[in-house]
Every structure is written in structure tokens, then in C-alpha cells.
Amino acid sequence: MKSNNIIIAVIFSMFVFSFNAQTKTGGVKPVRVTVTGKLMQTNSYCGGIAPTPEMEAEYQKAIPYGGKVFYVRKGKVNSAKAEVITSFTTDAKGEFSFQIIPGTYSIIQAKQLKPLKAADFKSTESLQVDAACMKEWWVKPYYLLEVKTSNITIPGWSVHHPCFVSGDIPCISYTGPMPP
């Protein structure tokens, strides 16, 4: 009889614990939505021997951008005060996938994690940095993601790489001479 009372007490305790856990979270687990996409890249012709029409076509063809890391922050604009919710990296095919709960998110690049400093990007004889563009670029997400309750595929992501500029910041341009 004593063991029956113990079993009943254990079952009752589990029921109460379960009920409390459900009421604290509203009884509903947040829906996780899968976000997928593919990032492509194009390159500029950067001088040298004049390209054949076939070479020119190859430069204009988008190819997968593998190994690119992105970060996801809550909100419509990038802010250093907002925590990074998750990150993702494109694979060799440029594809990515991650899960997140419904909400509004800013997808940003690594250079957008910390506020920009003027010393981080200085113009040189051949590279010009547009300071106003940099301020605007830092706040603006690479992609604004509105997540509802169904899975999302981000369409048509592409990055263009200009000549002699490293990274993916659109506010830096090469103004030096082109190779002969």
C-alpha cells in the first residue's frame, strides 16, 4: 500500500510540474521556420590582355559563393546592442539553411558586427572609401528577413566583386590604374 502511495505521489508531482511548465510558456512551443537560400558571386574583368567574348561571358556568369559567413540579429536595422541570434555559412555550392522562430531579423556580414571606426577603412591612392556610404551600409542589413510561420527560401542572392577590392563592402572602390 505504501508503494502505491509513492507511485501516486510521483505521478501527481509529474503532472503538476508539467502543468506549471506549460502555463509559463503558454503551453505552446515557438514554431521554428527553416530559411534556405543560395548565394552566388560575380567578378569583374580586371585588366590585362583583352578578353575574348567567351572570357567576358565567363566573368559575367554567377558562380556559387562558398564559405561566406552571415550573422542574424533581431530587428529591422543593424545595431551593436542587438544580440546575434544565430549565424550560418554557405557551403561549397553557395547554399545555406538555418532555423529560427517567427520575427523580423537583420542578416549581416562579419564587418557589421561591431560599429565601424574611421581608422578601419582609410582611402589610399588607389582605394577610395565613401564614409557616408559606410555609415549607411553598416546600419542596413545585408538582407531584411521577415519570418512568419512557413518556411522561406531567399531568392536571388548575389555579390559582385569589383577589381582589387577585398571583402564584400560596396562602399570601397578601386581608382588606380588597370594592368596593361
The DSSP-derived string for 133-173 is: HHHHHHHS-SEEEEE-SS-EEEEEEEEEE-TT--SS-TTEE
- Which residue reads 514554431 in cell numbers? 31
Average confidence (pLDDT) over 14-21: 43
- Which residue reads 555550392 in cell numbers? 93
Contact 168, 157 (CB under 8 A): no
On the question of pLDDT at 112 being above 80, the answer is yes
Lowest mean pLDDT among 32-36, 119-123, 129-133, 170-174: 119-123
On the question of pLDDT at 10 being above 90, the answer is no
- Comparing 154 with 3, the larger pLDDT belongs to 154
For residue 106, the tally of other CB atoms under 10 A from its CB is 23
d(CA 36, CA 153): 5
Cell of 175: 581608382
Nearest to 65 by CA among 87, 94, 85: 94
pTM reported for the whole predicted model = 0.78
On the question of pLDDT at 19 being above 50, the answer is no
For residue 162, the tally of other CB atoms under 10 A from its CB is 13
pLDDT band at residue 3 under the 50/70/90 scheme: low
- Comparing 150 with 180, the larger pLDDT belongs to 150
d(CA 85, CA 35): 14
